Amino acid sequence: MGAWVPVVIGVLYATGFYLMMRRSIVRMIMGLVLLSHGTNLLIFVSGGLRDVVPIIEVGARAPSRPTADPLAQAMILTAIVISFAVLAFALVLAYRSYENIGSDDVDELRAEEP
Amino acid sequence: MRFLTVLPIALPMATAIVCLFLREHARAQRIACAAGATLHLSVAVTLLCRVHAKGIQVVQAGSWPAPHGISFVADLFSAIMVVLTGIIGLAVALYSVRSIDNARVSLGYYPLLQVLLMGVSGAFLTGDIFNMYVWFEVLLISSFVLLSLGGGKAQIEGAIKYVVLNLISSAFFVAAVAVLYGLTGTLNLADLSRVAESRALEGSLTLPAILFMFAFGIKAAIFPLYFWLPASYHTPPPAVAALFAGLLTKVGVYALVRVFTLVFVHDVGVTHGILLVSAMVTMVLGVLGAAAGRDVRRILSFHIISQVGYMVLGLALYTPLALAGTVFYIAHHILVKANLFLVGGLIQRAGGSYDLKRLGGLSSSHPWLAALFLIPALSLAGLPPLSGFYAKLTLLAAGLQSGEYLAVAVALVVGLLTLYSMIKIWQEAFWKPVPADAAAVTPGVTVHRVLPVAALALMTVLIGVCVGPLYALSREAGDQLMDRRAYVIAVLGEGR
């Protein structure tokens, strides 16, 4: 399993950056979504890829074999929840800006900048 | 009294909840928020006194022993930052009483303000790198809403730029945490500091170091990552802008100082070398942007960038005196910068506009306002005997001590240019006769607006007149930042 995960992360990052360099605000946000997915996978990898569940058997004081790292998964869970909330806000903001400015193009965001 | 360390986080949360319950009563919310901010400040001052008297204070959340649970750590630097948060929180709460309209209040302005203060205090007090990410998100989401709340086109535009850049920064922050965790297997800052000293990791830590520099660099607005700041900070109402200008970029600077004094000190030549170059360019470009500006708030926004350069300069020099300079500079800057944004709001009230072309004659129509502007403005430029002079002097002395003559020269020239752009605001808004196309003035410069401005100005003068105590405190904080061993022992216990 280990070999293809870095490739997936790389593809997610590359696609995310490509989308963020587009002029459309919605694409920019989609790029951020992909970026945060890539980052979550990176945390997953950083915990070490092992397919043994981190359960300590009855009576034992430590798992008998090296297990998957539960802390990395707890971090991913936190990161997913946070990015879900933040991206929901970003989508609403994009919609408000579309209502206000009438365009999805970042080049139109120039009212306050000379 | 162990809980004193987490009270600066718990109190704003309680105040936010109270404000939420008072949702329909704007007046009650204003009172509750001011009372909560007063309590927050007094708790913060108590914490600082305790840290000063008894050394680093540590609380392990849920009593889980140190590297496994989440630690909250208050050393002198953290405690000073929390006190500054309290001061700005109170000043903004008072200034908001009359300047934030009821529509914004009913949309949740006060709960958001308190959640922001909670996030900032949490980021200052946590001793765990992933927990710091969570606090960053807490303060970010509330700052997103505060920035766009009740605004028209300009505020929405500013908010989009701010939100997107900060989300990118957060993604890199988490990526950096992931890489660091993969390398070291720990998230506790003290434990990271201990593990980072092992020979096996030498070299490989530079990758997460640069990732952290990028993530915190965006938040702190250092070169070349500052473009979002002048595009967004001038759009919200003055109370919100003062809060952002005073506190938010400084959270980035705090995070930079924390990780680059505690964890990433194995390769100072590379990491702090990059920071040194970045600091110099930041100072110059920020002040040039300010010198070219025509709008009071945009000029002030560019000055934040330039001043962040000074703070990062102290970190990049990485000597006890330089770090003391950074601490002193942050303290001075937070007070002065928030004050200038509030004064900017007063200028808009008194003159009807933020545009220098349409302002004029304020020195004769509002002489007291001229005095209130001049004190923080001259302090920002670093004129004696105000606080900015001693802040710059400490950094320059540290620069000369380290033999970084180029950085010292840059800092001096930037100081002069700062004075130039402040004089420009002075001449245009205060001395020039009232222009023909001057904007209509809405009367209403009330005591609620002037009181916090005057109090912050008084603090600047007081720091300048009796500089001894704050300087001594900064020196102690600087020494403490250089002494990683003491931090590790305080968190993890003896024998580690």
Q: How far apart are CA B459 and CA B337, in angstroms?
A: 12
- Write out chain A residues lying below 8 Å of B156, CB-based: 93, 96-97, 100-101
Nearest to A97 among B157, B231, B235 (CB): B157
Is the CB of B164 less than 8 angstroms away from the CB of A28?
A: yes
Q: Which of B341, B310, B491 is closest to B407 using CA atoms?
A: B310
- Whether B141 and chain A come into contact, CB under 8 Å, resolves to yes
Q: Which two tokens stand for residue B302?
A: 């560019």
- Write out chain A residues lying below 8 Å of B162, CB-based: none
HSE-CB at B437 with a 13 A cutoff on CA atoms is: 4
Supply the CATH number for residue A82's domain: 1.10.287.3510
Least CA distance to B133: which residue of chain A?
A79
A60 lies in some domain: no
- Write out chain B residues lying below 8 Å of A89, CB-based: 141, 144-145, 163
Report the alpha-carbon angle B375-B446-B99, nearest 5. 95
Is the CB of B144 less than 8 angstroms away from the CB of A89?
A: yes
Q: How far apart are CA B112 and CA B142, in angstroms?
A: 5
Among B156, B162, B218, B232, the residue to mutate for chain A (most A Cβ within 10 A): B156
- Dihedrals phi, psi of B286, to nearest 5 degrees: -60, -45
Type of residue found at B37: A
The region, left, alpha or beta by phi > 0 then psi within -120 to 50, assigned to residue B376 is alpha
Is the CB of A39 less than 8 angstroms away from the CB of B152?
A: no
Among B157, B212, B227, B234, the residue to mutate for chain A (most A Cβ within 10 A): B157
Looking at residue B360, what is its pLDDT? 81
Is the CB of B167 less than 8 angstroms away from the CB of A86?
A: yes
How far does the CA of residue B132 sit from the closest CA of chain A (Å)?
A: 12
HSE-CB at A57 with a 13 A cutoff on CA atoms is: 6
How many structural domains compose chain A?
Answer: 1
Q: What residues are paired with B74 via a beta bridge?
A: B57
Q: Which of B108, B137, B109, B123 is closest to B239 using CA atoms?
A: B109
Q: How many CB atoms lie within 10 A of CB B273?
A: 12
- Whether B148 and chain A come into contact, CB under 8 Å, resolves to yes
- Whether B204 and chain A come into contact, CB under 8 Å, resolves to no
Q: What residues are paired with B58 via a beta bridge?
A: B73
Is the CB of A45 less than 8 angstroms away from the CB of B141?
A: no
Q: How far apart are CA B427 and CA B424, in angstroms?
A: 5
Nearest to A46 among B144, B160, B178 (CB): B178
Quote the domain boundaries for residue A48: 4-54+67-108
- Write out chain A residues lying below 8 Å of B158, CB-based: 112
A62 lies in some domain: no
Q: How far apart are CA B496 and CA B490, in angstroms?
A: 10
Q: Which two tokens stand for residue B240?
A: 């919100």
Least CA distance to B294: which residue of chain A?
A114
Cβ–Cβ < 8 Å for B343, B373: yes
Cα distance from N-terminal residue to C-terminal residue, chain B: 26
A59 lies in some domain: no
Least CA distance to A90: which residue of chain B?
B163
A27 lies in some domain: yes
pLDDT in tens, B329-386: 999 999 999 999 999 988 888 888 888 888 888 888 888 888 889 999 999 988 888 8
How far does the CA of residue B83 sit from the closest CA of chain A (Å)?
A: 28
How far does the CA of residue A59 sit from the closest CA of chain B (Å)?
A: 22
Nearest to B157 among A29, A86, A111 (CB): A111
A25 lies in some domain: yes
Whether the complex's predicted ipTM is more than 0.85 is answered with yes
pLDDT in tens, B53-99: 998 999 988 888 878 889 999 999 999 999 999 999 999 999 998 88
A78 lies in some domain: yes
How far does the CA of residue A1 sit from the closest CA of chain B (Å)?
A: 17
A19 lies in some domain: yes
Query: For chains A and B, what is the number of CB pairs under 8 angstroms?
Result: 96
Q: How far apart are CA B286 and CA B221, in angstroms?
A: 10
Q: How far apart are CA B362 and CA B347, in angstroms?
A: 8
Q: How far is CA B62 from CA A32, A65, B3, B12, B57, in A?
A: 34, 28, 12, 20, 16
| pLDDT for residue A55 is more than 70 | yes
Map B397-435 to HEC letters: HHHHHHCCHHHHHHHHHHHHHHHHHHHHHHHHHHHCCCC
Q: Which of B179, B164, B247 is closest to B211 using CA atoms?
A: B179
A49 lies in some domain: yes
Q: What residues are paired with B295 via a beta bridge?
A: B355
Q: How far apart are CA A38 and CA A18, in angstroms?
A: 14
- Whether B231 and chain A come into contact, CB under 8 Å, resolves to yes
Q: Which residues lie below 8 Å from residue A1, measured CB to CB, with a gap of 6+?
A: A49, A51
How many helices (H) and strands (E) are present in chain B, helices listed first?
Answer: 22, 2
Cβ–Cβ < 8 Å for B261, B253: no
Q: How far apart are CA B264 and CA B208, in angstroms?
A: 9
How far does the CA of residue A39 sit from the closest CA of chain B (Å)?
A: 5
- Write out chain B residues lying below 8 Å of A71, CB-based: 181, 187
Q: How far apart are CA B475 and CA B61, in angstroms?
A: 30
- Write out chain A residues lying below 8 Å of B181, CB-based: 43, 46-47, 71-72, 75
Is the CB of B177 less than 8 angstroms away from the CB of A75?
A: yes
- Write out chain B residues lying below 8 Å of A96, CB-based: 148, 156
Tens of each residue's pLDDT in chain B, 496 residues: 678 899 999 999 999 999 999 988 888 999 999 999 999 999 999 999 999 999 899 998 888 887 888 999 999 999 999 999 999 999 999 999 888 888 888 888 999 999 999 999 999 999 999 999 999 999 999 999 999 887 778 888 888 889 999 999 999 999 999 999 988 888 999 999 988 887 777 778 889 999 999 999 999 999 888 888 888 888 888 999 999 998 999 999 999 999 999 999 888 888 899 999 999 999 999 999 998 888 888 899 999 999 999 999 999 999 999 999 999 999 999 999 999 999 998 888 888 888 888 888 888 888 888 888 999 999 998 888 888 899 999 999 999 999 889 999 999 999 999 999 899 888 888 888 887 777 666 666 677 788 888 999 999 899 888 888 899 999 999 999 999 889 999 988 876 5
Least CA distance to B150: which residue of chain A?
A96
Q: Which of A3, A99, B429, B59 is closest to A91 using CA atoms?
A: A99
- Dihedrals phi, psi of B264, to nearest 5 degrees: -95, 75
How far does the CA of residue A113 sit from the closest CA of chain B (Å)?
A: 7
Cβ–Cβ < 8 Å for B332, B394: no
